[in-house]
């Protein structure tokens, strides 16, 4: 069903959950993985600076995760997109279009999926921008199963 899955991660706990779930899906579907990270830059005196002060450590962690995916036999690669005064959702949607992704997987950052949609969080914006399905992986594990529980956000295929 899927040929290419794009996993968007910030390198934090929510991103780790997205990587783990995307890995399982890619193994089941035998498809390609693109793992991406958006490095948000903020203009300031003397140039631009990373929004995340630990950006080099975050990148190293994600590179290690991608190496692990490759060791698991997956066709996986890593992309970093730097943005200044642009929503990460636009960068993620653009990356998904560039690799012809069938699915975007990202971790839940807000308290609930609907709160992100209502407040215009990354997931909410991505649902409006993406040309493929968007899957948001919640933070909490499902106690009944060893897998992460899913919530489908919204998907309206292009006409």
DSSP 54-86: THHHHHHHHHHHHHHHHHTT--EEEEEEEEESS
Q: Residue 111 is encoded by which pair of tokens?
A: 């308290």
Pairwise CA distance, residues 15 & 29, whole Å: 21
- The pTM assigned to this predicted structure is 0.80
CATH homologous superfamily for 4-152?
Answer: HUPs (3.40.50.620)
Q: Where are the domains of the chain?
A: 4-152
The pLDDT tens digits of the residues spanning 57-100 come to 999 999 999 999 999 999 999 999 999 978 899 999 999 999 99
Radius of gyration of the chain (CA): 15
The pLDDT tens digits of the residues spanning 1-26 come to 899 999 999 999 999 999 999 999 99
């Amino acid at each position: 069903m899927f040929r290419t899955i794009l996993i968007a991660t910030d390198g934090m706990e929510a991103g780790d959950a997205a990587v783990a779930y995307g890995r399982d899906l890619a193994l089941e579907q035998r498809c390609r993985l693109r793992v991406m990270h958006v490095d948000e830059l903020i203009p300031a005196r003397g140039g631009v600076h990373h929004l995340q002060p630990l950006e080099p450590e975050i990148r190293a962690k994600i590179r290690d995760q991608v190496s692990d995916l490759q060791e698991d036999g997956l066709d996986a690669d890593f992309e970093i997109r730097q943005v200044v005064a642009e929503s990460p959702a636009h960068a993620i949607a653009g990356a998904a279009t560039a690799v012809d992704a069938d699915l975007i997987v990202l971790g839940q950052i807000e308290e609930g999926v609907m709160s992100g949609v209502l407040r215009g969080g990354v997931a909410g914006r991505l649902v409006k921008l993406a040309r493929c399905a968007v899957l948001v992986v919640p933070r909490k594990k499902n106690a009944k199963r060893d897998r992460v529980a899913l919530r489908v956000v919204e998907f309206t295929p292009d006409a």
